[in-house]
């Protein structure tokens, strides 16, 4: 065998995630007790027991990383973030703690539109400077790939500025970024009372400009009584598909609005939130193979009930993914391990299902075939955790156990 560039050895177990969401998650995690991972060319080249290493696999050029009896798994994939923004909304947080709701705050001129004002006033460089420490925190938690949405620009110039900031960020951080256009996040102030005209602007100008520059892989929309209607979502997402952007949507978050059914009808990659999803919506997601992205940190942060029915979604055969939803309004946290804990405590997932959701489940949601898994040939994004098994991650609530993080085979 050609010598390995790196050998990760002395693990308690390596989770290679070679199963599917249709089998029990414990089985799908594919735990390999005391296995080693060999890396070459930034990819997983070999997984097995040390005593089974093929001749020639390790030579004087092979770097050896001792996992000191700890667990190794793929880098986390965060499938839902709003990482790029200016300003902050701690006053809204305080108001919610005193009883105000997310919607009341939005109706009083705060909420998403307050972040839009701050983001429009910031330059691309300023947005990058502000986002970098957030991205660094994600990385420290073991996130090696993250989706990032626009949605605080809400006009051609500022949506492009946000997505260019995402592109610039990806050159400055080892975290791989997957950009999403979310121009239909809210109706901007200058279009108040003229929402159809804003949807027209999205379809006719923002979307084509973003597609032309190749700035986004997905197009997302907030379907909600206070945001956009299912018909508006249909119009935008069908146009997005025609330009090569895969549809996603924020659905059934604050009210039950048929978001899941719509995602299934449109063949969306994901529908995110789902606190208020209907039984019919759950069945539709399973049939259409749409990933359900759960973001329980925002259910917590907004002091809402219920949490999304993760248990029912899994039992219906839906691929479930888990994200931080880091954003200034509904989830000001990069703490993915906290999301794992909440997924178990409040969404009803098992520890194995939560771990799947933050790795392979999330990679599949983003269409990343060789991420969130450590099969031979996959990208060598991996994390050595300071614990011996995955159950410790949700159990030690909100605590960071990522000890060493590798992106494409390099310690970062
Ligand atoms: O995913 N629900 C809509 N969008 C974000 C919140 C954004 C904000 O409040 O700034 C979310 O929770």
| Pocket lined around ligand 1, Cβ cut-off 6 Å | 82, 111-112, 115, 222, 250, 253, 298, 325, 327-330
Mutate to test the pocket of ligand 1, among 78, 80, 81, 82 (most ligand atoms within 8 A of CB): 82
**What is the distance between the alpha carbons of residues 313 and 145, in angstroms, rounded to a whole number?**
24
pTM as predicted:
0.98
Domains and CATH numbers, the chain: 6-74+372-411 (2.30.40.10), 77-365 (3.20.20.140)
The pLDDT of residue 364 is 98
Say how many Å lie between the CA of residue 41 and the centre of ligand 1.
Answer: 38
**Residue 283 burial (10 A CB sphere; 0-12, 13-18, 19+):** middle
Parallel/antiparallel/unpaired status of strands 218-221 and 176-184: parallel
Task: Kindly give the confidence (pLDDT) of every residue in the chain, 412 residues in length, as a single tens digit, with 9 standing for 90 and above.
Answer: 899 999 999 999 999 999 999 999 999 999 999 999 999 999 999 999 999 999 999 999 999 999 999 999 999 999 999 999 999 999 999 999 999 999 999 988 899 999 999 999 999 999 999 999 999 999 999 999 999 999 999 999 999 999 999 999 999 999 999 999 999 999 999 999 999 999 999 999 999 999 999 999 999 999 998 899 999 999 999 999 999 999 999 999 999 989 999 999 999 999 999 999 999 999 999 999 999 999 999 999 999 999 999 999 999 999 999 999 999 999 999 999 999 999 999 999 999 999 999 999 999 999 999 999 999 999 999 999 999 999 999 999 999 999 999 999 999 9
Backbone conformation region of residue 44, classed left if phi is above 0, alpha if psi is from -120 to 50, else beta:
beta
Instruction: Give how far Cα 64 sits from Cα of 145, 340, 341, Å.
Output: 24, 30, 32
Non-local CB neighbours of 177 within 8 Å, separated by 6+ positions: 145, 146, 147, 148, 166, 169, 170
- Binding-site sequence positions: 80, 82, 89, 152, 185, 250, 253, 325, 327, 329-330
| Closest approach atom of ligand 1 to CA 273 | 1
Secondary structure letter of residue 307 according to DSSP: P
The pLDDT of residue 359 is 98
The pLDDT of residue 75 is 98
**H-state helical runs in 112-203:** 112-121, 124-140, 156-172, 195-201
Secondary structure letter of residue 203 according to DSSP: I
Mutate to test the pocket of ligand 1, among 330, 331, 332, 339 (most ligand atoms within 8 A of CB): 330
The pLDDT of residue 375 is 98
**What is the distance between the alpha carbons of residues 80 and 58, in angstroms, rounded to a whole number?**
39
**What is the distance between the alpha carbons of residues 403 and 67, in angstroms, rounded to a whole number?**
9
Say how many Å lie between the CA of residue 85 and the centre of ligand 1.
Answer: 12
| Closest approach atom of ligand 1 to CA 325 | 1
Say how many Å lie between the CA of residue 173 and the centre of ligand 1.
Answer: 24
Non-local CB neighbours of 382 within 8 Å, separated by 6+ positions: 8, 37, 72, 73, 74, 75, 374, 405, 406
Radius of gyration, alpha carbons of the chain? 21
Contact 78, 362 (CB under 8 A): yes
Look at ligand 1, atom 1, and give the residue with the nearest C-alpha.
Answer: 325
Parallel/antiparallel/unpaired status of strands 218-221 and 6-15: unpaired
Look at ligand 1, atom 11, and give the residue with the nearest C-alpha.
Answer: 330
**Residue closest to 276 by CA, chosen among 249, 258, 301:** 258
Say how many Å lie between the CA of residue 378 and the centre of ligand 1.
Answer: 32
- Binding-site sequence positions for N-formimidoyl-L-glutamate: 152, 327, 329
Beta-bridge partner residues of 331: 327
């Amino acid at each position: 065998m050609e010598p390995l560039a790196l050998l990760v050895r002395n693990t308690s177990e390596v989770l290679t995630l070679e199963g599917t969401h249709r089998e029990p998650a414990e089985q799908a995690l594919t735990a390999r007790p005391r296995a080693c991972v060999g890396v070459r060319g930034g990819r997983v080249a070999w997984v097995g027991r040390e005593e089974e290493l093929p001749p020639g696999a390790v030579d004087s050029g092979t770097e050896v990383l001792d996992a000191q009896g700890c667990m190794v798994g793929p880098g986390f994939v965060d499938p839902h973030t709003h990482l790029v923004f200016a300003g902050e909304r701690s006053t809204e947080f305080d108001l919610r703690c005193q009883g105000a709701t997310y919607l009341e705050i939005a109706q009083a001129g705060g909420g998403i539109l307050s972040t839009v004002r701050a983001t429009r006033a910031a330059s691309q460089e300023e947005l990058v400077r502000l986002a970098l420490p957030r991205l660094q925190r994600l990385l420290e938690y073991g996130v090696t790939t993250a989706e990032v949405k626009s949605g605080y620009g809400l006009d051609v110039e500022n949506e492009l500025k946000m997505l260019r900031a995402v592109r610039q960020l990806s050159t400055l951080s080892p975290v791989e970024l997957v950009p999403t256009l979310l121009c239909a996040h809210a109706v901007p102030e200058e279009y108040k009372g003229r929402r159809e005209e804003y949807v027209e602007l999205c379809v006719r100008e923002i979307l084509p400009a973003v597609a032309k520059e190749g700035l986004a892989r997905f197009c997302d929309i907030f379907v909600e009584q206070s945001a956009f209607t299912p018909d508006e979502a249909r119009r935008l997402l069908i146009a997005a598909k025609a330009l090569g952007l895969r549809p996603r949507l924020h659905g059934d978050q604050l009210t039950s609005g048929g978001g899941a059914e719509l995602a299934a009808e449109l063949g969306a990659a994901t529908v995110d939130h789902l606190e208020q999803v209907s039984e019919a919506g759950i069945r539709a997601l399973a049939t259409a193979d749409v990933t359900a992205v759960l973001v329980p940190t925002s259910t917590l942060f907004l002091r809402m009930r219920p949490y999304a029915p993760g248990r029912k979604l899994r039992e219906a055969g839906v691929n479930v993914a888990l994200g931080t939803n880091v954003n200034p309004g509904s989830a000001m946290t990069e703490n993915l391990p906290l999301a794992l804990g909440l997924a178990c405590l409040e969404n009803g997932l098992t520890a194995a299902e939560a771990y799947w959701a933050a790795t392979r489940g999330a990679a599949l949601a983003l269409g990343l075939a060789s991420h969130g898994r450590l099969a031979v040939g996959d990208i060598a994004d991996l994390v050595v955790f300071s614990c011996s098994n995955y159950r410790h991650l949700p159990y030690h609530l909100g605590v960071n156990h990522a000890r060493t993080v590798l992106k494409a085979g390099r310690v970062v």
